[in-house]
Amino acid sequence: MRLIFLLVLVIGIGTAGYAAFLIQGQFSAKDTEINRLSNELRKARDQVVETSPVVVTTAKISFAHRLSAEDLSVINWPTSDLPENVYSTIEEVIGEAGAGPRYVKRTLEVGEPLLAVKITNFGEDIGINTLLETGTRAFAIRVDVTSGVSGFLQPGDNVDIYWTGTSGAQTITRLVLENAKIIAIDQQSSQDSSRPTVARTVTLQVSPSIVANLVQLQSSGKLTLSLRGVEDTETSGPIEVDTRSVIGNEIIAVQEAEKCYQRVRRGVELVETEIPCDEVDGN
């Protein structure tokens, strides 16, 4: 009886030890898994990018469009790359009741952050004066097919301006202004026009001092526009050509050949006949 009791006791102790061993292994595995998850969580926290709410457009919006809440949405934007003068809520853009409408100054693409410089103030008109930068003026130049680059100019383009007139006895062409921005073609200031049209006037954005110069130049000669590339910001420096520089400076005088005549009277009429001059010298 005692032998059986001892045998049962030994078996129980062995079973308990084996169970304890299994439980310890499971706890070790759990500790390892917990440590792994903690490390992954720590790495994930290090990779989290701080964001800020930004108002963006939900569709492509054309120039002069009146903004509404349906045109806008709010997304999270990386704070480190946050553009200046953005809006964080749609209420900031639309304003309270009676605040007046706001219009788009230039075409906006889908998902583009809405900047303060791209829309008018509350109740502000969308005329050309809203497109002018501080300290600049609008100046219109008369153009035709040749001086207006055959109708390929559009608002937003940049051009160089050449003046052709007389200086002394010579006709000259001179580069008088570089990289001037076009803000309107005739009465159209929209950048969405894709059909080339031959303009009669081109309105530029220039400084007040440049306005005075262009007035004088336009009244004393002809102004011609030259379209610049989209990313071309280089300056060409002083450029001036005259007629002599185009066809050559040397003027060769043409010597007129000597002519000799023989006069013969026939009755009352005196007849004059051209003859070689060597015959006259021989006589």
Q: What is the pLDDT of residues 183-202, one digit of tens each?
A: 888 766 655 555 556 778 88
Taking 70 as the threshold, does the pLDDT of residue 71 lie above it? yes
User: What one-character-per-residue DSSP string does 77-136 give?
Assistant: EEGGGPPTTB-SSHHHHH-STTS---BBSS-B-TT-B-BGGGBPPTT---SGGGTPPTT-
Query: Rounded distance, CA 262 to CA 248, Å?
Result: 42
> Confidence class of residue 86 from pLDDT cuts 50, 70 and 90?
very high
Give the pLDDT of residue 184: 84
- The Cα 87–Cα 81 span in angstroms is 14
Query: How far is CA 259 from each of CA 226, 253, 273, 274, rounded to the nearest angstrom?
Result: 53, 18, 11, 7
Average pLDDT, the chain: 79
E strands, 91-169, where?
137-142, 158-167
Per cent of the chain over pLDDT 70 is 74
Q: What is the DSSP letter of 112?
A: -
Mean pLDDT calculated for residue range 36-59: 78
What is the C-alpha to C-alpha distance for residues 249 and 256, in angstroms, rounded to an integer?
22
User: Mean of the pLDDT values across residues 26-49?
Assistant: 70
Model pLDDT, residue 5: 61
For residue 149, the number of C-alpha atoms closer than 13 Å in the C-beta half-sphere is 18
Confidence of residue 153 (pLDDT cuts 50, 70, 90): confident
Which residue has 């306005």 as its token pair?
211
Question: Hey, is 41 helix, strand or coil?
Answer: helix
252 pLDDT above the threshold of 60: no
Angle value at C-alpha 95, between 90 and 100, nearest 5 degrees: 135
HSE-up (13 A, CA, CB side) for residue 142: 6
Reported confidence tier of residue 75, pLDDT bands at 50, 70, 90: very high
Least confident of 56-65, 105-114, 142-151: 142-151
Question: What pLDDT is attached to residue 206?
Answer: 93
Confidence at residue 212, expressed as pLDDT on a 0 to 100 scale: 93
- State both tokens at 45: 């926290």
- Position 213 scores a pLDDT of 92
